[in-house]
Amino acid sequence: MSEEQAVVAAPLDYDIRKVLAALPHRYPMLLVDRVVGLTIGETIHAVKAVSFNEGFFQGHFPGRPIMPGVLIVEALAQTAGILAIESLELAGTGKLVYFMSIEEAKFRAPVEPGVLLDLHVGFVQKRARVCKFWGKAMLGDKLACEVSFTAMIADQPA
């Protein structure tokens, strides 16, 4: 891997503006706030600031707010989307990254309001149209969720 391929982004280098440019998601479904580190073709580290103001906390669960596991997996998938877009040079092509499968999802610790959820994702396999990823959501040094998943690269629907 050349030095140009192994690019690590600085914290302010991939802020919310770049996240919005990379992903089609918007509030309330945008679950990535910034990218902390990115090694093109290999791994990404992003962050989600989990706020008590998130709509899902009203009903999940009153008196004991916990971020739904499916949204933790979605945050990891969005992080993988950024990794794929940057690694496969898809920015501006109109291509989208779609879930194909979720495997071996394990939830180890509840994610509560007021935390920074560290999202670590890497390629397991990378092809032009289908990519496999591993993902880990961390609360500091504590594992909250781990999952393997597959996504496909496709054109936007007409």
Residues recognised as catalytic: 60
Half-sphere exposure of 100 (CA within 13 A, CB side): 13
CA dist 139 → 21, 74, 118, 119, 131 (Å):
26, 16, 6, 9, 26
Are the C-beta atoms of residues 73 and 149 closer than 8 Å to each other?
A: yes
Joined tokens for residue 63? 């008196």
